[in-house]
């Protein structure tokens, strides 16, 4: 029972925090909640399978654009349901044709998917609708956006915890260790990977949909920024993508650091992001939590 006390208290504190911060502080809280959600959703599929996906922004941007297109035609709740459904269908179609790819081939495809979606939407807007961007007119406050994102964050971490204890989580871990062994053990590789990929994509799409009212004006170059994908991967890997709290551990400090760097060094902070990505991959491939555990075990062995 005690292991649930800290998460519950943390959620309560985060829920009431908007009442005691400035508008800038509220913006930081929204950013933190968004990237914890994105990193946790990314890790839901990639954490155990070790499939490094750079398609996060493809789903995130799709969610934002869905809201931009439908916000005047449907109630807000219906818009969110539509966004989740579109993200899930898109992930299912993509997953059925590409989850057989492995290693660098999957990485390259996932990055290309984000660019493909951006270019398709740009072409449609320019050639069919005759415009390039859309306005979002929704009566949703910044606090409302934050509470929605916090709720999605809690659902994502809760879903991850449940999957980790389920047969699906076990199957994902076996696939990540060795797909050949998983296949010989009778695991349906395509089905297991597709389920995890679709669940992850739905959450990523909903995250984009929920945050979209903050943009007010949406266009492909804004919501399909590849930085979102790279930041999500770095955050998840830094904390430990195969740990329940790893993505959150990586997302919170890194978001604050990158927020400060982008404000003070807007032209050079991507260099830092690239260096950090290389450092994480080579120095902490299993994340900070695993690194701490290894350090402790070595100290015990030395004693």
Question: For residue 246, which of 287, 207, 292, 297 has the smallest C-alpha distance?
Answer: 287
- What is the tally of helices (H) and strands (E) in the chain? 14, 2
Sign of CA dihedral 237, 62, 155, 182: negative
Beta-carbon contacts of 53 under 8 Å, excluding residues fewer than 6 positions away, are: 42, 45, 46, 106, 107, 110, 233
pTM listed for this prediction: 0.91
Beta-carbon count within 10 A of 98 CB: 16
pLDDT of the residue at 265: 79
pLDDT of the residue at 295: 57
Q: What is the pLDDT along the chain (303 residues), one digit of tens a residue?
A: 556 788 888 889 999 999 999 999 999 999 999 999 999 999 999 988 988 899 999 999 999 999 999 998 899 999 999 999 999 999 999 988 888 787 788 888 898 998 999 999 999 888 888 887 888 988 899 999 999 999 999 999 999 999 999 999 999 999 988 888 888 888 998 899 999 999 999 999 999 999 999 988 898 888 999 889 989 998 998 888 888 888 998 899 889 988 888 888 777 777 877 787 777 767 766 666 666 666 566 666 666
pLDDT of the residue at 216: 86
């Amino acid at each position: 029972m005690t292991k649930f006390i800290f998460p519950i208290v943390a959620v309560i504190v985060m829920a009431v925090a908007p009442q005691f911060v400035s508008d800038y502080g509220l913006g930081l809280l929204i950013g933190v909640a968004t990237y914890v959600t994105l990193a946790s959703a990314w890790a839901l599929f990639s954490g155990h399978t070790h499939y490094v996906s750079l398609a996060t922004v493809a789903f995130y941007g799709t969610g934002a654009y869905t809201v931009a297109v439908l916000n005047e035609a449907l109630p807000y709740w219906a818009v969110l349901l539509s966004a989740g459904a579109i993200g899930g269908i898109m992930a299912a179609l993509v997953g059925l044709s590409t989850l057989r790819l492995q290693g660098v081939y999957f990485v390259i495809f996932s990055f290309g998917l984000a660019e493909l979606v951006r270019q398709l939407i740009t072409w449609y807007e320019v050639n069919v609708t005759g415009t390039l961007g859309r306005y979002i007119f929704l009566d949703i406050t910044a606090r409302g956006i934050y509470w929605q994102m916090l709720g999605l964050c809690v659902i994502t971490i809760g879903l991850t915890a449940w999957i980790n204890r389920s047969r699906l989580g076990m199957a994902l871990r076996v696939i990540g260790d060795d797909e050949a062994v998983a296949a010989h053990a009778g695991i349906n590789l395509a089905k297991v990977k597709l389920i995890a990929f679709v669940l992850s994509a739905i959450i990523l799409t909903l995250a984009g949909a929920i945050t979209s009212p903050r943009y007010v004006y949406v266009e492909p170059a804004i919501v399909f920024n590849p930085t979102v994908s790279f930041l999500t991967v770095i955050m998840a890997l830094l904390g430990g993508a195969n740990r329940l709290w790893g993505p959150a551990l990586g997302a919170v400090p890194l978001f604050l650091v990158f927020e400060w760097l982008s404000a003070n060094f807007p032209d050079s902070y991507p260099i830092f992001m690239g260096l950090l990505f290389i450092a994480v991959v080579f120095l902490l491939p299993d994340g900070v939590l695993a690194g701490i555990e290894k350090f402790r075990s070595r100290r015990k062995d030395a004693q």
